[in-house]
Amino acid sequence: MALSKEEIGNIRNETQKTEHNTHKPINEPKKNKKVLFFSVGLIAVLLIGAGIGYSFVSSNKSGYLDGFAQCLSDKGAVMYGASFCKFSAAQKGMFGKSFKFIDYRDFTENNEVKITPTWFIDGKKYENVQSLDKLSVITGCVIGS
């Protein structure tokens, strides 16, 4: 059972067609890369924009102790501290965003200040970090108001 030349030729043609169809050149990777880079860039820009927006909104929010800090200043409480002092920084940190309402002055403005932080309230001197509770008792200001 031998194949004729014609049959062999047909088989070769079919085989070449099949192989030709399975090995299509792919020209789409360049387009896919462009879309991928554009998508990644767009996502990055959106994330950065969202971060900036969140920072702006959260920086304008009032702090929990705004009323308390304002009351301390209204009652004449003054905190003297030093920018390099870790204890002054700790006292500031206790107020968080609300510290902007505290009457804060540099220790060099008052010769009586030997330790930072030092509070002056109603003519009395309170040296070292003071708890919010103690400041509340001294001044009558309510924490969280």
Q: Is the dihedral of CA 83, 86, 89, 91 positive or negative?
A: negative
Domains by residue range for the chain, with CATH: 66-139 (3.40.30.10)
Tokens 């030349």 map to which residue? 5
Query: Residue 59 has what pLDDT?
Result: 62
Query: Residue 2 has what pLDDT?
Result: 75
pLDDT in tens, the chain (145 residues): 677 777 777 777 776 665 545 555 555 566 788 888 888 888 888 888 887 877 766 666 678 899 999 999 999 999 999 999 999 999 999 999 999 999 999 999 999 999 999 999 999 999 999 999 999 999 999 998 6
Query: Residue 82 has what pLDDT?
Result: 96
DSSP 28-86: -HHHHHHHHHHHHHHHHHHHHHHHHHHHHHHHTSPPTTHHHHHHHHHTT-EEEE-TT-H
Predicted TM-score (pTM) of the model is 0.59
Query: Residue 26 has what pLDDT?
Result: 55
Q: Is 114 helix (H, G, I), strand (E, B) or coil?
A: coil
